[in-house]
Structure 1
Amino acid sequence: MTERPGRSDLRAAVADVAGIGAGMFLLGTSLGLLVVGSGLAWWWAPVLGGVVFAGSMEFLLVALAVAGTPLAAIAVTTLLVNGRHVFYGLSFPLHRIPGRLGRAYAVFALIDEAYALATTRPDVALSGRRILWSQVLLQVCWVSGSTLGALAGDTFSLRVPALDFVFTALFVVLATEAVVAGREATGPLLAVACALVARVVAPGEMLLVAMGLFVAALLVRYRLTPREPAGA
């Protein structure tokens, strides 16, 4: 019996997300622990995961909220941290997503991991439903992990340090897969160089400076890369 297309897309998405989803679940638990450890109610963890769903920004948002940071400052910080998603949109295969509602969700759920999965898979096998299922599963892993962490922290007063390193390890894996798939290591090397420069010139604002330098370096590389003639 031939498998239904929707079901095969779901099975493919489960296989795509399996490894990354486990990392996101574990990292989500650290967000939940951070939420209750910062004095917020446990239910803020699933709310952040369901409404914000921005990974590193959620960790930063908890700290900003607890510190009583003005909304204008939070908005500017969010723009600087998540501004990279504008560049993601240039190469994300949004045209494959069926329906306005599906495309709206795909834009909302365009996190780093979803972008990596969608841009390192062969175009022939990458359907719009497979992309959407991958994004849904990633959010489920994130929200369930953060909810579990918040409930555990609230119930047992758990405080587990150093779980935030999972975020770094996850991005190392994603960068490695991207290099292997594209057989091109210029991007990661540029990122490392920008991080080192930012560490030296602006250690207090390393993240923002490094991201700014990296964006500038990518733009310069784009301008200097030879283009193939149309129709070649």
Structure 2
Amino acid sequence: MQHDVLPHPATPAAPTPGPSARRSHIALGVRDSFSAGLGIFPLGIALGLLIVQAGLPWWLAPALSLAAFAGSLELLLVGMMAAVTPLAAVALTVFVVNFRHVFYAFSFPLHLVRHPAAKAYAVYAMIDEAYAVNASLPERERSAPRLLAMQIACETYWVGGGLVGVALGAALPAPIKGLEFALCALFTVLTLDAFRSRKELPSLLLAGASATVALVLTPGMAMFTALLVFVGLLLVRHLTTARGAADA
């Protein structure tokens, strides 16, 4: 006897929020960006000041911020441009510094964004701060309007801070020292904030161990090595945890 085979129902897509809910999510996204903006805006000012102090044209601040939108990379590029670094060295630096974004894509909720143009922007604006802010949100509270609003707000802080920094640099009579530490301070704050919200002591310890190994073994490429070691340690931890749960 022949049986009819019914097709499996397709997985229902996430419901699209109505206009009122969308506005609410956008407001939440802008509010989410405030904590990161406290670090992004001063860091943008530091970028603008460095550009002016390096003798580069003022328009390089908004141009870099829109073309690259990667704080750590832009701060490095300013010094490399001022020193007329060879293009091959610039390309290698860009690859090494931004290689970490490949790992961000594994857990960043790009699946929430449906429109191709919006998804492309979400990928472009997937900076460290946006990843850290989104990681602290519960899964059920995430949405495309909230994510995109947070990313747009972060870029606004960055571009605006760069323009303010350019204006300050043109007005100040003497250069300001120690601006490079602003990036390190921002990453420290983001790490502490993520640890406080997630209570992930093992991940924090693994990250510290990875950085230590990288600084000892490959000080010239510490960030790249630390990322690879950290991913390896996370995979080992995941496999160990999954095996323990299966045996329980």
TM-score (norm 1): 0.88
Correspondences of 1:41-190 after superposition (within 5 Å):
41-190=57-206
Q: Cα–Cα, structure 1 residues 157 and 190, in superposed 2: closer, same or farther, change >3 Å?
A: farther
CA distance in 2, matches of 1:84, 1:157: 38
CA distance in 1, matches of 2:198, 2:112: 21
**Per-residue CA distance 1:160-198 (angstroms, 9 max, x = gap):** 222333322322222223223322222221222222233
Match of 1:221 in 2: 237
CA distance in 1, matches of 2:103, 2:240: 18
Percent identity of equivalent pairs: 43
- RMSD over aligned CA atoms reads 2.2
* Aligned partner letter, 1:85: H
Cα deviation for residue 74 of structure 1 reads 1.3
CA distance in 2, matches of 1:50, 1:167: 18
CA distance in 2, matches of 1:224, 1:73: 40
**Per-residue CA distance 1:82-133 (angstroms, 9 max, x = gap):** 1111110011100101300100000000001101112220122211110000
Q: Could you tell me whether the CA contact under 8 Å between 1:42 and 1:154 is conserved in 2?
A: no
* Aligned partner letter, 2:26: L
CA distance in 1, matches of 2:79, 2:184: 19
CA distance in 2, matches of 1:160, 1:223: 49
Q: Could you tell me whether the CA contact under 8 Å between 2:136 and 2:194 is conserved in 1?
A: yes
Cα deviation for residue 71 of structure 1 reads 1.9
CA distance in 2, matches of 1:104, 1:157: 42
Match of 2:35 in 1: 19
Q: Could you tell me whether the CA contact under 8 Å between 1:152 and 1:158 is conserved in 2?
A: no
Cα deviation for residue 139 of structure 1 reads 0.4
Q: Which moved more, 1:6-15 or 1:151-160?
A: 151-160
Q: Could you tell me whether the CA contact under 8 Å between 1:98 and 1:129 is conserved in 2?
A: no
Mind listing any 5+ residue stretches in structure 1 that lack a counterpart? none
Cα deviation for residue 204 of structure 1 reads 4.4
Q: Which moved more, 1:45-54 or 1:8-17?
A: 8-17
* Aligned partner letter, 2:93: T
**Per-residue CA distance 1:177-230 (angstroms, 9 max, x = gap):** 32233222222212222222333344444434433433333343344341667x
CA distance in 2, matches of 1:80, 1:225: 30
CA distance in 1, matches of 2:149, 2:62: 19
* Aligned partner letter, 1:161: K
CA distance in 2, matches of 1:123, 1:44: 38
Q: Could you tell me whether the CA contact under 8 Å between 1:195 and 1:206 is conserved in 2?
A: yes
CA distance in 2, matches of 1:65, 1:220: 40
Mind listing any 5+ residue stretches in structure 2 that lack a counterpart? 1-17
CA distance in 1, matches of 2:88, 2:221: 19
How many corresponding residue pairs? 228
> Bigger radius of gyration, 1 or 2?
2
